[in-house]
Amino acid sequence: MIRGPPEKVIADFIEFPKVGYCIKSAIVQEVQPRRENRLQKVEMTQEDRAYFKKGVKTLCGTELILATKVINDPDIKKMFTQGDLAFMNKELGRQAGAIFAGILRGFKKKNFSEVQKILTGGKSE
Of 6-20, 52-66, 67-81, 87-101, minimum mean pLDDT range? 6-20
How confident is the model over 86-103, as pLDDT tens digits?
999 999 999 999 999 998
Q: What is the DSSP letter of 5?
A: S
How confident is the model over 1-20, as pLDDT tens digits?
444 545 555 556 556 566 55
**Where along the chain do its domains lie?**
46-120
How far is Cα 110 from Cα 18, in angstroms, rounded to an integer? 85
Instruction: Please write down the HEC assignment for all residues of 21-43.
Output: EEEEEEEEEECCCCCCCCCCCCC
pLDDT band, residue 27 (cuts 50/70/90): low
pTM of the model: 0.63
How confident is the model over 101-121, as pLDDT tens digits?
998 999 999 988 888 888 888
